[in-house]
Amino acid sequence: MDILIISFSNSDYDRAAQGVAGAGRNLATVLGGRLRAVVIGPGNAAMNSRLAAVADEVIVADQAELAEYQPEIFLQALTSICRDAAPAAVLFGNDTYSQELAPRLAHRLSGSAAGDGIELAVDNGAIRVRRSVYGGKAVATIELKRSPAVLWLRARAFEPAPEKDSATAAITRPAVDLSMRAPTQIIERKSEGAGEARLEDARVIISGGRGLGGPEPFADLQDVAGLIGAQLAASRAACDSGWCPPSWQVGQTGKKVAPGLYIAVAIRGASQHMAGISDARVIAAINIDADAPIFKHCRFGIVEDYKNVIPLLKEKLAALQR
């Protein structure tokens, strides 16, 4: 019973993708099947090569119709590939494309879907996934009764797949049904500046919340981030207020991160936000409200107005670097 892992050619074989490959290899070993990697989108030779070192086959779908991400066209291509492969499970990462496509693909394949997986197991041939529920307050084990099981997995929750001792896998380009005409059209594309690393891969994150009161304080957080090599992030409230880009949002409806250090500035720590940072190794918080829920979860906390803390923190950090 083969396992398919899905990658997008506009991404890298990063820690999240390596974890998906590792989860897929473990499942394939338990079920006695092959690990087959699917790369969808225009050519990415580096991605294909990295996957060929850990998978038993790499299936590339790089037709011209897949040059731009269109969910309906990508879904049609993946449906065609999965129907031919008849896998026991299809594994995605936790990026935006994957979360959009995974449940729809499960429906097309008459399978079952689950998201935000942090652990996979097989019991009497049935695949089970463990995931956080109730904003990270509990963990549920879900058995996927209909095959294939289509899952997207939390970034960095699984160990990378080891490279094979044998030769690299064959790379194939099968015929893919792309007869559907895209019902939508890209009119304009805007790009925003990115930091040195994606939030999902950042080792240190400093995040601002509603208590900052506006977009200007994020400049001060940026100064601190530059001094400690951190990435900037924000709560949903700050993003919804237009103070920072939506790509900065961390939480249940945003990105789920696992840094070594997460600094929460003026964030109360609602369960939805905590669901996104539950894998952080160390949480430090600055909040004026001593009863803020964030203080129940952080290792280090300062009950103070951030306006009195951030300038002093900048001064001390700058002094250390002289």
For 161-176, write each residue's pLDDT tens digit: 999 887 789 999 998 8
- Quickly state the pLDDT bin for 1 (edges 50, 70, 90): confident
Domain membership of residue 179 (yes or no) is: no
Cα dist. 288→18, 178, 268 in Å? 40, 56, 9
Residue 196 confidence (pLDDT): 52
CB-based contact 182:271 (threshold 8 Å): no
Same domain, 158 and 250: no
Same domain, 240 and 129: no
At 76 the three-state DSSP class reads helix
Same domain, 95 and 241: no
Mean predicted confidence (pLDDT) in 136-158: 90
Same domain, 205 and 159: no
Mean model confidence pLDDT for the chain:
91
**Domain count for the chain:** 2
Residue 131 confidence (pLDDT): 92
CB-based contact 74:40 (threshold 8 Å): yes
Q: Given the DSSP bridges, would you call strands 126-133 and 112-123 parallel, antiparallel or unpaired?
A: antiparallel
Domain membership of residue 101 (yes or no) is: yes
Same domain, 102 and 56: yes
Helices 96-108, 71-85: crossing angle, 10 deg rounding: 50
Range of the domain at 240: 199-320
Say if residue 71 is preceded by a cis peptide, omega within 30 of 0. Answer: no
Domain membership of residue 192 (yes or no) is: no
Domain membership of residue 229 (yes or no) is: yes
Domain membership of residue 108 (yes or no) is: yes
**Residues 294-303: contacts with CB under 8 Å, at least 24 apart:** 294/264, 294/267, 294/268, 294/269, 295/269, 296/269, 297/269, 298/264, 298/269
- pLDDT tens track for 50-59: 999 999 999 9
Same domain, 271 and 230: yes
State the Cα–Cα distance between residues 318 and 299, nearest whole angstrom: 24
pTM recorded for the entire structure: 0.77
- Quickly state the pLDDT bin for 132 (edges 50, 70, 90): confident
Domain membership of residue 190 (yes or no) is: no
Q: What residues contact residue 319 under an 8 Å CB cut-off, 6+ apart?
A: none
Domain boundary among 133, 153, 172: 172
- pLDDT tens track for 100-127: 999 999 999 999 999 989 999 999 889 9
Residue 304 confidence (pLDDT): 96
Same domain, 134 and 282: no
Same domain, 29 and 168: yes
- Quickly state the pLDDT bin for 11 (edges 50, 70, 90): confident
State the Cα–Cα distance between residues 59 and 74, nearest whole angstrom: 14
Which residues does residue 278 pair with via DSSP β-bridges, in sequence order? none
Residue 39 confidence (pLDDT): 95
- pLDDT tens track for 68-102: 888 999 999 999 999 999 999 999 998 889 999 99
State the Cα–Cα distance between residues 157 and 204, nearest whole angstrom: 17
CB-based contact 276:296 (threshold 8 Å): no
Range of weakest confidence among 105-109, 115-119, 228-232, 254-258:
254-258
Residue 183 has pLDDT above 80, yes or no: no
Q: What's the CATH code of the domain at 98?
A: 3.40.50.620
